[in-house]
Amino acid sequence: MQKVVKVIWIIAVVIAGLALMWFMFLLIRDRTDIGPAGPFILYFIWCPVLVFVAVSIVLLIKNKVPVHIISQSILIMFLVIFSLVFSATLLREPHYEKLMQEIEEENRQYMEQSRQVTADGKYEYFFYLIGRLTDNPRSHIAIRNLTNNVEKSITIDLNFEGVRAVENLPPNIRLIEIYPTDDEHIYKLTTTSQLKDEIETFKVNMETAIVKKID
C-alpha cells in the first residue's frame, strides 16, 4: 500500500508542478493572458501549490510515507483533491479570463453597433430591456447628447405584454425609433414591430428625462 501511495503522491506532484510552470510561463510571457484575477491566483493558489510541491519532494526523498491505512487513505484523498482542484484552477484560469474578455468585447461591439442617432443628429441612444422574463421587467434608453457628451438613462413605462425575445437579434434590428419634434427638448419615441405587435408611442423630454405615453 505504501508503494501505491507513493506513486499517487509522485503523480500529484508532477501534475501540480506542470501547472505551476504553465502558469508562470503565461505570467512572464504576457500579464494580460492571466486576466485581472491573476494576482489573486498567484498569491492564494500558486504559492500554496508551490509549498505543496516543495514539501512533497522533501518528504518523498526521505521516504516519509504514512504506514497506517487510515493515514494513507486520508493522504490519498488530500493528494487527489488538492492536485486536481488547484492545478485545474491554474490551468483553466488564463483561458477563462481571456474568454470573459472576448465576451465583454463582443458585448461592447454589439452595443456600439446597436446605437442609433436621432434624425437631427443631436442624440445617440441605445434601447435595452432588464428582466424581460421576471415579474418586474424594465425598459430603458441610454441617451448621449452628442453636443456636450452628457449621458443619462431614461426609464420607459413599456407594456411588456407581447414583447418578443430580443436578446439574440442582430444589432441592425431596430426595436424603437426616436424622432425630433417642434420642441427642441421633446422627442417622439415609437416602438417597432420587431419589439412587439402593439406599437406604443411616448413623448420624451431629453432635458428632464420625463416620459409620457401618447394614447
Domain boundaries in the chain? 2-112, 115-214
Q: Above 60 in pLDDT, residue 212?
A: yes
More confident of the two residues 32 and 57: 57
pTM of the model: 0.49
Predicted confidence band at 177 (pLDDT cuts at 50, 70, 90)?
A: very high
CA distance 82 to 76: 10
CA distances from 213 to 7, 117, 193, 210 (A): 74, 21, 17, 10
- What is the C-alpha separation between 111 and 71, in angstroms, rounded? 57
pLDDT tens profile 136-145: 888 999 999 9
Least confident of 101-115, 153-167, 194-208: 101-115
The strand pair at 123-130 and 116-117 is best described as: antiparallel
- Lowest pLDDT segment from 101-110, 145-154, 190-199: 101-110
Q: Across-strand partners of 186?
A: 205
Burial classification of residue 23, based on how many CB atoms lie within 10 Å of its CB (0-12 exposed, 13-18 middle, 19 or more buried):
buried
Q: Is the pLDDT assigned to residue 12 strictly greater than 90?
A: no
Mean pLDDT, rounded, for 131-138: 82
Cell of 37: 484575477
Residue closest to 141 by CA, chosen among 84, 96, 187? 187
Average pLDDT of the segment spanning 46-50: 80
Give yes or no for a contact between 89 and 40, defined as CB atoms under 8 angstroms apart: no
- What pLDDT shows up at residue 87? 66
Nearest to 178 by CA among 118, 114, 106, 97: 118
Neighbours of 16 (CB within 10 A): 23
CA proximity to 195, closest of 154, 214, 215, 167: 167
